[in-house]
Structure 1
Amino acid sequence: MPTISPPRREPRWSTQLPSHIHPSPGLLTWLLDAGSLTAKLMKLSKGKFRVQVLQQVHRRASKSEALALGIDFGVLCLIREVILRGEDQPWVFARSVLPLTSLTGPIRHLRKQRNRPLGAFLFSQPHLKRSPIALSFISRHHAYVPEELLNDAPVWGRRSIFWLHDKPLLVSEVFLPHFPEVAKNI
């Protein structure tokens, strides 16, 4: 089973595409889609979709994650890392960072999400707010994604902050090499 260590070098996330490199138009559509990625993956996989939990631990967020969430660097968070699998292939690596201070009241049950997709819950919430989507071109030296899920080619990821009941949580999603070519080139 893949294991995760804190990133050695954090990916650079930006709401602007870098000028020197771009994802394919089809993949860009997936990266910028503000709807539920879970719902789209379920449809693409014709129902052969599942969540594989890699880890769920209490730990500090990375510096860029803490900055994005507007929390102090030392604040403990629930960090959940999963693989979203379609047709039993690893399609997307997802990392959720939920400050423990956000996991109270009506969303405290997110502590026990297990292998349920977080996106299915988030997008069912009527008062959900989302920040603009930030993108990153991620390579092996970032140590952000388990090495065994990557090949030598860099991959694209996206992240954004969600607010539920005015409490922030950060979700990052990285499209892995097994993400279907047909979907990348729609």
Structure 2
Amino acid sequence: MALSSTQFSDFYPVSEPLWRQMASVSDYRVPAQLRPWLSDTGSLTQRLMDACDNRLKVQVLRQNLGVPRLSERRALKLPQRRLALIREVLLLGGGTAWVYARSIIPLSTLTGRLRSLRQLDNRPLGALLFSEPSMCREPVEVACFNSPTSQMPAVLAAYQPPMWGRRSVFRLDHKPLLVSEIFLPSFSPYNQCLSFDDSRSV
């Protein structure tokens, strides 16, 4: 489905979801089949590729400079109104939209060799992150998007809530970026067995 670029920057402005560390979220609140995917600290890109026989595609919805949301600024310790590179994509497994991902990359991170993050095009950011020896990841936070007012892009308005998401601050060469991922209702590999032996696999 072709959508105009203006649609991707239209957000429901009412509220943000409550992000909490995975360890503090009660088991009964998170769908059992989704919990391993939310808590896995390995490469989601690789997990999805395994689940769709390497037929994973990245559909870029938006990539431009913008002001991050309040919770994103707090996670990255950014001053108010500080611009960052905002990248939004859909990850499609076998042609079906499985995951919506939003990345916030401060301009101070896009220096030196990390300038290449400006030209990801349709390559998955996760593959780059987990191939980096300098990469470190802060604890995973999760949130439930239980209404269309939880600041989701208009492109996701057709999906029926609730939807669960996770996010983490990553550091490359000690420079931070924030990656958030929302599992869509059309995500089918809930029962895919996950191997935790290759948590840094690309």
Distance 2:52 2:27 in 1: 32
Give the corresponding residue for 1:104: 111
The within-5 A match list for 1:105-184 is 105-139=112-146, 140-148=148-156, 150-180=158-188, 182-184=189-191
Q: Aligned to 2:100, which of 86, 93, 97?
A: 93
CA distance 1:59–1:88, shift in 2 (3 Å): same
Q: C-alpha root-mean-square deviation of aligned residues, in Å?
A: 1.8
Q: CA 1:122 to 1:80, structure 2 compared with 1: closer, same or farther past 3 Å? A: same
Which 4+ residue blocks in structure 1 deviate beyond 6 angstroms?
Answer: none
Determine the structure 2 residue equivalent to 1:65. 72
The CA deviation at 1:171 is 0.1
Residues 25 and 19 of structure 1: is their aligned pair in 2 closer, same or farther, counting only changes over 3 Å?
closer
Aligned to 2:51: 44
User: Of 11, 16, 22, which residue of structure 2 is paired with 1:10?
Assistant: 16
Shift of 1:4: 3.3
**Residue 20 (structure 1) shift:** 9.0
SS in 1 for 2:99: strand
Matching of residues 21-36 of structure 1 within 5 Å: 22-36=29-43
* Structure 1: segments with no counterpart, 5+ residues: none
Q: How many angstroms does 1:10 deviate by?
A: 1.2
Q: TM-score, normalised by structure 1?
A: 0.92
- The answer for unaligned runs of 5 or more in structure 2 is 194-202
CA deviations 1:59-101 (Å, max 9, x no partner) are: 0111110000011121110000000000100000000000011
Distance 1:81 1:93 in 2: 7
The alpha carbon displacement at 1:185 in A equals 7.3
SS of 1:125's partner is coil
Deviations 1:146-186 (A, max 9, x none): 35464333100000000001110000000001000x42575
Assess if the C-alpha contact under 8 Å between 2:11 and 2:154 holds in 1.
Answer: no
Residues paired across the two proteins, number:
185
Q: Which residue is equivalent to 2:198?
A: none
C-alpha distance in 1 between matches for 2:30 and 2:191: 9
Cα distance in 2, alignment partners of residues 185 and 121 from structure 1? 23
Counterpart CA distance in 1 for 2:18 and 2:87 is 20
Do the aligned partners of residues 7 and 13 (structure 1) sit closer, same or farther apart at CA in structure 2, a change above 3 Å counting? farther
Report the TM-score, using the length of structure 2 for normalisation.
0.85
Deviation at 1:47, TM superposition (A): 1.5
Q: Residue 145 and residue 6 in structure 1: after superposition, are their counterparts in 2 closer, same or farther (change >3 A)?
A: closer
Could you tell me whether the CA contact under 8 Å between 1:149 and 1:176 is conserved in 2?
Answer: no
